[in-house]
Amino acid sequence: MRDSQSLGLMVGTPDDHAPLWLILNQRLENCRITAAPSVESERDVG
């Protein structure tokens, strides 16, 4: 944990003009990052 860095994570659906960000970890041991596109459900559509 001594070399760890906390990053804020915002969850939501960006618009078409939102920038893309790449999360890079140069020391991959003991690190897991999982990302997937959100799925829009009928409940989310007004």
> In the prediction, which pLDDT does 1 show?
52
> In the prediction, which pLDDT does 44 show?
52
Structure tokens at 28: 């991959």
29 or 46: which carries more pLDDT confidence?
29
**Residues 33 and 25: beta-carbon distance below 8 Å:** yes
pTM to 2 decimals? 0.18
Give mean pLDDT, residues 20-42: 59
- Quick one: how far is CA 39 from the chain centroid? 14
